[in-house]
Structure 1
């Protein structure tokens, strides 16, 4: 009778281990399936066009440094930004724009046309702008060449 009791004893451990392994393998298989089907765009479709545009941007920055320093100074007492182009551009027809970029809120971004005085400077009022960090990006052309500079200011 004792031998029959030993044969009738039943444990769930082997089945639980098998079920746990099957569930784990199913989880790994699902993870691999999702990873394989994940769309990874490390390189854009128009990579070469973007590279050429970026090289043109680098050339603009290089030309700007070559003609002299473009200064962008925030004057808290006047609540204005003073933009000063180098004297080497005097006598040339200059056109462009000043982009006031707010990194934390794109809805506050503004674009102001470049309207220089005789001394190649422009005063941009900031009393309607929110206080905080701003990037001032200046894109302009003089003659046949294009130029670009940017600076970060803190409005107080």
Structure 2
């Protein structure tokens, strides 16, 4: 068999296609490369998006919104002082974008105007905090990105 330009081009194309197919198959079958959505039940959350927008507008219309401060014991989430603490119901959700196993949720049941998130639950790095609460049958939502 004589090796000419045509044969060389065919061999180069076949080698390139084989190289690409190797990486496609490796990436789709290897368990260390996950292709999950950001959150479970993504589409169900999308349907409730308008409720979130309304709750965020309710929170932004307050004279005083939630304040989040870093203290020695962890994160201090302070609610508006105009609210009666025992009437506040809801949850604080901390989402870790780099590791979903570190995500956690704390129910809001407070006797003072603040909630303390313990430091032992917080690993250094980026966190997305979502505080959704209800006060006198009105929904509120507060979102903040934190670097701890």
Name the TM-score class by shorter chain: 0.5 to 0.7
Q: Which residue of 2 aligns with 1:87?
A: 81
Unaligned segments of structure 2, at least 5 residues = 1-43
Q: Equivalences for 1:44-123 in 2 at 5 Å? A: 53-67=48-62, 68-75=64-71, 78-90=72-84, 93-118=87-112, 120-123=113-116
Matched residue SS, 2:61: helix
Q: What displacement does 1:51 show?
A: 6.4
The alignment's C-alpha RMSD in Å is 3.4
* Residue 143 of structure 1: aligned partner: 136
What TM-score do the two structures reach when normalised by structure 2?
A: 0.64
The TM-score with structure 1 as length reference comes to 0.61
| Cα distance in structure 1, aligned partners of 2:126 and 2:45 | 28
Task: Please state whether the residue corresponding to 1:123 is helix, strand or coil.
Answer: strand
Unaligned runs of 5+ in 1: 1-48
**92 and 142 in structure 1: CA distance in 2 versus 1, 3 angstrom threshold:** farther
Q: What is the Cα deviation at residue 50 of structure 1?
A: 6.7
1:63-107 deviation line (CA, Å, top 9, x unaligned)? 0111231111122xx141010111232377111111111011011
Which of structures 1 and 2 has the bigger CA Rg?
1
Query: What is the SS of the residue equivalent to 1:87?
Result: coil
